[in-house]
Amino acid sequence: MLLMCAVIFGFMYCNRPSQEEIARQQEAAKQEQLAQQKRNAEAGSEAMLDSITADDVNNLMLCLNAEDNANHTLSDNDVNLKLNGNAIDGTVKVGDTIVSYADLAAAKITDVALHNKAVESLRTLANTQLDNGVFASKMKGTNSVVTLENDSLKLEISTKGGMISRATLKGYTAYNAPRVEVFSPGENEYSFILNTDRNRYQTKDYYFTPKQLNDSTVEMDLELPGGALFGLRYTLARGGNYMVRMEVVQKNMDKVIATNIANLDFYWHQKMMRHEAGKMFEERNSTLYYKYLNDDDVEYLTESSRQEESTNNRLKWISTKNQFFSAILIADKDFNGAKLLSVPFEKETADYQKYLKDLTVHSSFDYKSTMPNPVSFTFYLGPNRYRTLRNYEDMLAAYKLNNDANSDLKLTKVIPLGWKLFRWINTGIIIPLFNWLGSFIANYGIVILILTLIIKLVLWPLVNKSYSSQAKMKILAPDIKEINEKYPGQENAIKRQQKTMELYKLAGANPMGGCLPMLLQMPILIAVFTFFPSCIELRGQSFLWANDLSAPDAIVSWTGQIPFITNYFGNHISLFCLLMTSTNLIYTYLTMQSQSSSSMPGMKWMMYLMPIFFLVFFNNYASGLSYYYFISLLITIVQTYISRARIKESSVRAVMAENAKKPKKKGGWAARLEQAQKRQQEIIRQQQAKQNRNGKGHR
């Protein structure tokens, strides 16, 4: 019996609900209770009477006797109460019916549903008043906007929350709108949270009073009892600038917030709006970026799935970044760590086609209620253009806004330009050359063509010898075939290799000649692979049949989904990608002509399969990228034919005959290779001898 009891109690202990489960159960019970109360209220005379309790009366008296309530009144759209001596007097409006507080307190109203709704209105108003204290009077008001505007940016600053509700970029259009909006009403909100021992006051809940200081500066103020003031001052830089200053200003706030409160919390939430027709690629390049203080690295949350990141390290800036546009909030001092969350929208939801990510930031700053300007920031609301972001730090320095002289903001790292080597190629070579060509050539298709020609001409001296070696390999292809037929089988692999190497040496050909041109060009190919999809200069630029060089040039589209392929290929066919694939197949054919694949039968079909993989992979990328690769491959094919035209078979045979007459010198790499081959032959002979002995032993 004792063992049975122990097992039962042990089972009950191990399967007890966790604290989270208990909390969920309590919340579910609470919601059910509220739902039941609502059902009861709707049931008319059969509902239970919700009486005004002693706690309700106490809360109302606290509101009416508050220090900042000189008139001892409490009111909103439906409730109007005042203190009459030590008693509460007033009315409550429910729909079109007005009832007195005295009748509610005495439960004289026969309509139970009406009575309960009136009591609920009283209770809600009292709780709201108590939760918001001196800020409660700022919960009522009319939402309006104040506009600031320069040559590049238009801001609408809302009196509800004192926040930038709309930020419109001039000169940029969205796929479904005449202008790109980095912030949009209802989709972007931020709030400063003032803490006391009892309450948390969120500025997004209150109505501010606007004060236009000049044509570029507006101050949104919360004027509080006792001469206290909390405000947000916005200054939009003049000219073609994307810089917005946001400063917290205050006066006598130590009467509201105790001087021992050392933190001002900050909350930022954004449903990131979609701007591009090609949602798939834009979504892959949208997430939260952030930079640690005094650290060169810029971090970001994954773009492909939900990720939550929490850090206690100080941050210099935080950005909501999509493919071509960013909102970057830069603290004059720093953020005291942050909790960051990025959530993709599910395909089944109604918001999937409209938005990219749901982004949330929770952070805080050092704060003193006695300081007139406790925290300040600079917003960058603009395009991810490399030269604009690169010059932004100089702009901050000119305005004396970056307090940390040793801080390198690294804002350009919101543009994905590849790892260090490839990023160096992009920032040191590709981007300066691209911008220089774009300064006097209006059509970016021509810019890409000339850029490709320049790169190929610069690389020509490096790859010319390799192209010549390829031409010699093509001439030697019949000789290599003859060697393979003369020395067939695995047992002759070493001999076959020796003869092949001797042939290459006589002709002065390099067997790695086909790979070397690609290896020399690979860093640039990878660099432009990261550059073109992120190059905002190509956005909206047309060339030939491509309407937008930053997006796929679809010539055929469909609505269906191809399993396992649509995520990469998309639901269209891009013409430049098809042209790139075709030229890639031609170049592969030319390369395979100079290669002997008899020793590796699978190599040939693998080489032809690679361009098909590229077709699937690149079909959904920027048409400017496919166009660059197409032109680059065309030039490579032309260079290959030029090299083959210059290398005559008669000349190669003459050189081989001349070299054959010379005494053979073995040294260096050739000698080491021969020694390695002999050792390999010896190992093979020993293995064969061992197999023969084992076979005789079994017999």
CB 513 within 8 A of CB 470: yes
What kind and span of H or E run contains 335? strand 325-335
Q: How much is the pLDDT for 224?
A: 84
Q: How much is the pLDDT for 45?
A: 42
CB 327 within 8 A of CB 380: yes
| Residue matched to tokens 């990608």 | 577
Q: Looking at 10-19, 326-335, 431-440, 564-573, which range is the least confident one?
A: 10-19
Q: 314 vs 6, which has greater pLDDT? A: 314
Residue 192 pLDDT more than 50? yes
What are the residue boundaries of the structural domains of the chain, listed by start? 35-138, 141-414, 444-660
Of residues 277, 269, 234, the one with CA closest to residue 339: 269
Residue 594 pLDDT more than 70? no
- CB-side exposure of 653: number of CA atoms within 13 Å? 7
Q: Calculate the dihedral angle through the C-alpha atoms of 105, 111, 114, 118, rounding to the nearest 10 degrees.
A: 0
Q: 236 vs 67, which has greater pLDDT? A: 236
pLDDT category of residue 517 using cuts at 50, 70 and 90:
low
- pLDDT per residue as tens digits for the range 526-560: 888 888 888 899 888 888 888 888 888 888 877 76
Mean pLDDT of 24-32: 64
Residue 157 pLDDT more than 60? yes
Can you list the alpha helix ranges (DSSP code H) found in 487-622?
493-507, 516-531, 566-569, 575-593, 601-618
CB 118 within 8 A of CB 125: no
Q: Looking at 35-39, 50-54, 100-104, 299-303, which range is the least confident one?
A: 35-39
pLDDT category of residue 406 using cuts at 50, 70 and 90:
very low
Long-range Cβ pairs for the range 49-55 (8 Å, 24+): 49/107, 49/112, 49/115, 49/116, 50/115, 50/116, 50/119, 50/120, 51/107, 51/119, 52/104, 52/105, 52/119, 52/122
The angle formed by the CA atoms of residues 532, 535 and 541, to the nearest 5 degrees, is 95
- Kindly report the pTM of this predicted structure: 0.75
Q: How much is the pLDDT for 235?
A: 92
Q: 103 vs 502, which has greater pLDDT? A: 103
CB 266 within 8 A of CB 333: no
Using a 10 angstrom Cβ sphere, with 0-12 exposed, 13-18 middle and 19 or more buried, the burial of residue 464 is: middle
Q: Looking at 327-336, 452-461, 656-665, which range is the least confident one?
A: 656-665
Of residues 244, 237, 207, 236, the one with CA closest to residue 224: 207
Q: How much is the pLDDT for 126?
A: 79
Residue 116 pLDDT more than 90? no
The b-or-e profile of 628-645 (16+ CB within 10 A means b, else e) is bbbbbbbbbbebbeebbe
Can you list the alpha helix ranges (DSSP code H) found in 133-237?
none
Mean pLDDT of 475-492: 66
Average pLDDT, the chain: 79
- pLDDT per residue as tens digits for the range 262-276: 899 999 999 999 998
Q: 3-state DSSP: the chain helix, strand, coil percent, rounded to 5?
A: 45, 25, 30
Q: How much is the pLDDT for 44?
A: 46
Q: 139 vs 158, which has greater pLDDT? A: 158
Q: How much is the pLDDT for 498?
A: 66
Q: How much is the pLDDT for 165?
A: 93
Which CATH number does the domain 141-414 belong to among 2.60.40.10, 2.120.10.80, 3.60.70.12, 2.70.98.90?
2.70.98.90
Who's near 250: CB < 8 A, 6+ residues apart? 228, 229, 230, 231, 369, 371, 372, 373, 374
Q: How far apart are CA 90 and CA 442, in angstroms?
A: 73
User: Backbone phi, then psi, for 308, in 5-degree steps?
Assistant: -120, 130
Residue 649 pLDDT more than 60? no
Of residues 667, 661, 644, 684, the one with CA closest to residue 496: 684
Segment of 123-132, 248-257, 461-470, 685-694 carrying the highest mean pLDDT? 248-257
